[in-house]
Copies of this chain bind each other. A is one copy, B any other.
């Protein structure tokens, strides 16, 4: 900051022009390449946000429903709510714990600890046919692999966030959040810092990784083929980071 009249500025660029992602694709290489081809190469300080769907495609975290034999629970629930029992079965298999199961919707806790609808199992935006998409097994590791590929491609070490759109309690609408993180601290802690009036801030932390994911969603869109975005100009806190830091422990969760 150079004074009160300075306007801090953030830029968010959608990454277009990626090819159809096949299993084994090096997403980081493709993203760095697409940005360079478009005349806007990655810069030091950039943050790359990648939607989990292309990560799932690259990691072949896809399930052909033709291969699934639904359990009795999946069959009954699907019949009652006019759903595909094979899809329900995949959701049950991807769940570590069912939080709620009603009206055709399953809210579950995944093995990662995320609480979300249908264990993050997603049917839209895929190659077609009866294929559903799972959450990456280890989204932090996925993010780190993309960061490695970017570094190999253009020599820059940038943080990477893998994101997904989740529903939430109390409020309508989905928002994009961080499910995997590499190279930045997902929570920025202000405890003990002082505000512009010299008053000590008591707020624990801001979930900047979730805000970055949400900001990226605004350019990626749902109807667009922009599976990644770049956030330029955010003074992030470097660090190993893991999306697990964004999971609130049940015993500390006053909102549940």
**Interface of A toward B, CB cutoff 8 Å:** 1, 3-17, 35, 37-38, 40, 99-100, 102-103, 105, 107, 114-115, 117, 123-128, 165, 167-177, 186-187, 190, 193-197, 199-208, 210-212, 214-215, 217-219, 221-226, 231, 234, 245-248, 253-256
Check A204/B174 contact, CB under 8 A, given A16-B4, A224-B1.
yes
In the bound assembly, the distance between CA atoms of A252 and B245 in angstroms comes to: 29
CB distance from A234 to the nearest CB of B (A): 5
In the bound assembly, the distance between CA atoms of A201 and B171 in angstroms comes to: 20
Q: Which of B7, B12, B187, B200 contacts A14 (CB 8 A)?
A: B7
B214 touches A196 (CB 8 A): no
In the bound assembly, the distance between CA atoms of A117 and B176 in angstroms comes to: 22
Residues of B contacting A125 with CB < 8 Å?
195-197, 199
CB distance from A249 to the nearest CB of B (A): 9
A17 touches B38 (CB 8 A): no
Residues of B contacting A102 with CB < 8 Å?
254
B4 touches A13 (CB 8 A): no
B14 touches A255 (CB 8 A): no
B165 touches A206 (CB 8 A): yes
A247 touches B207 (CB 8 A): no
In the bound assembly, the distance between CA atoms of A215 and B232 in angstroms comes to: 12
For A4, A17, A165, the residue with the greatest tally of chain B CB atoms inside 10 Å of its CB is A4
